[in-house]
């Protein structure tokens, strides 16, 4: 059954176009998943776009994160390209089943014609080759322009490898072999990637020459990947491209540097230091030091006066006379108090210090308290 007969099936429109739209959506979304960014945050807690070359791809993941996370990024990036093609195939098979249901519902088929319609798979011919090739290219573009990273991403080499393994496995293996050989010899990953995609159109024509669609889309994929490596090609031409070496970036050094910069940005009055007993003290601002009180100022003034050995002269003779009279009145009042039998200040203080404190209502304790109070009173009277 040719394309014209397939398009003549009942409800071919809009069933087939809707299947294409669903397959392309699956391909773009699967290709746009930021695998390197997710694994970088899960394993090292970093944004891989801020380390190494800044590229969210397999090569930068190997450089920054190490072997384990880098291989995981490679695996899932390849899987994205394979899932893109599988999603398109699933959408086409679903469209085929829907079309066959409609066909059987409208026509009564018998014998050979029934078997012919039942053999419709949408897995051969232009109705299969074109959608799957578009799905592969869409997944590569989704990896390069991911909406989850503001339409930026990787170079698309690993995702293209996954798609070619599903559609054109022989071409994928030839490209992979070329990549490995070039990287082992030159240690330039970008040069190996460009060499690998350059082999795709030739290998597609050699192995899948009967399908012109595959040759055309292999050429388009080659052009897209080379465009993504345009800066690498420029650096290769000028001898400034970095060679590949697997070593983990010194994340501890970066974190310490960030902490140092954040400390330098703090205000001076918020710098904290630690005392000997482990208590955190805050360095006070000189502007916040307490001012001396009036009493302290007066004491300091008096001390300064005593140090110099000079006494300020009285303001006038009348003021001196008033001061002498006040002193005499104070002395007479003290003599009157002593004559009346008042307790001297020293004795009163001794009595107050020796007086026991009543703290219970227990009879035994009450009796002991009374005896101590009586002895204390007698001692006070004796001293007086």
Provide, rounded to the nearest whole percent, the portion of the chain with pLDDT above 90. 43
Residue 248 pairs with which residues in a beta bridge?
A: none
CA distance 83 to 135: 10
Question: In this predicted structure, what is the pLDDT of residue 295?
Answer: 42
Greatest mean pLDDT range, 71-75, 125-129, 287-291, 343-347? 71-75
What confidence category does residue 278 fall into, taking pLDDT thresholds of 50, 70 and 90?
very low
What DSSP letter does each residue of 123-191 carry, written as one string? -SSHHHHHHHHHHHHHHHHHHHSBGGGTSB---SHHHHHHHHHHH-HHHHHHHHHHHHHHHHHH--HHH
Residue among 195, 259, 261 at smallest CA distance from 222: 195
Determine which of 138-147, 200-209, 227-236, 249-258 has the lowest per-residue pLDDT on average. Answer: 249-258
Residue pLDDT, tens place only, 10-49: 677 888 899 999 999 999 999 999 999 999 999 988 999 9
Mean pLDDT of 307-333: 48
Question: Looking at the chain, how many residues does it have?
Answer: 384
Mean pLDDT of 146-152: 93
Please provide the distance, in angstroms rounded to a whole number, between the alpha carbons at the two ends of the chain.
Answer: 135
| Stated pTM of the model | 0.63
CA distance 201 to 220: 9
DSSP, collapsed to helix, strand or coil, labels residue 305 as: helix
CA distance 309 to 13: 116
What confidence category does residue 244 fall into, taking pLDDT thresholds of 50, 70 and 90?
confident
Question: In this predicted structure, what is the pLDDT of residue 325?
Answer: 53
Question: In this predicted structure, what is the pLDDT of residue 261?
Answer: 73
What confidence category does residue 64 fall into, taking pLDDT thresholds of 50, 70 and 90?
confident
Pairing of strands 280-282, 272-274: antiparallel
Each residue of 220-254: b (16+ CB within 10 Å) or e? Answer: bbbebbbebbeebeeebeeeebeebeeeebeeeee
CA distance 233 to 241: 8
Residue pLDDT, tens place only, 159-175: 999 999 999 999 999 99
Question: In this predicted structure, what is the pLDDT of residue 93?
Answer: 86
Question: In this predicted structure, what is the pLDDT of residue 376?
Answer: 62
CA distance 215 to 208: 7
């Amino acid at each position: 059954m040719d394309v014209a007969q397939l398009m003549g099936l009942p409800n071919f429109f809009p069933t087939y176009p809707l299947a294409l739209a669903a397959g392309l959506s699956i391909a773009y979304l699967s290709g746009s998943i930021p695998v390197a960014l997710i694994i970088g945050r899960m394993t090292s807690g970093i944004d891989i776009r801020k380390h190494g070359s800044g590229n969210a791809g397999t090569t930068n993941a190997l450089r920054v994160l190490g072997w384990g996370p880098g291989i995981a990024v490679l695996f899932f990036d390849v899987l994205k390209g394979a899932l893109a093609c599988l999603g398109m195939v699933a959408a086409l098979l679903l469209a085929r089943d829907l079309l066959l249901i409609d066909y059987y519902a409208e026509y009564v088929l018998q014998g050979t014609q029934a078997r012919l319609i039942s053999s419709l798979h949408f897995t051969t011919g232009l109705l299969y080759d074109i959608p799957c090739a578009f799905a592969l290219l869409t997944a590569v573009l989704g990896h390069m322009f991911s909406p989850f990273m503001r339409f930026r991403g990787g170079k698309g080499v690993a995702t293209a490898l996954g798609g070619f393994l599903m559609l054109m496995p022989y071409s994928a293996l030839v490209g992979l072999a070329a990549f490995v050989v070039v990287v082992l010899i030159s240690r330039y990953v970008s040069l190996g990637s460009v060499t690998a995609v350059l082999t795709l159109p030739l290998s597609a024509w050699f192995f899948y020459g009967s399908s012109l669609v595959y040759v055309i889309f292999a050429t388009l994929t080659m052009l897209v990947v080379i465009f993504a490596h345009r800066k690498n090609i420029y650096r290769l031409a000028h001898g400034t491209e970095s060679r590949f070496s697997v070593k983990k970036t010194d994340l501890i050094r970066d974190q310490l540097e960030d902490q140092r910069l954040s400390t330098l940005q703090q205000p001076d009055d918020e710098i904290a230091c630690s005392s000997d007993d482990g208590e955190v003290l805050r360095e006070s601002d000189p502007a916040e030091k307490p001012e001396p009180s009036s009493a302290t100022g007066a004491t300091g003034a008096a001390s300064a006066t005593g140090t110099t050995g000079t006494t300020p002269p009285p303001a006038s003779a009348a003021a001196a006379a008033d001061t002498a009279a006040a002193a005499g009145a104070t002395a007479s009042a003290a003599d009157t108090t002593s004559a009346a039998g008042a307790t001297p200040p020293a004795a009163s203080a001794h009595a107050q210090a020796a007086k026991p404190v009543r703290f219970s209502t227990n009879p035994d304790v009450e009796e002991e308290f009374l005896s101590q109070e009586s002895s204390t009173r007698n001692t006070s009277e004796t001293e007086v």
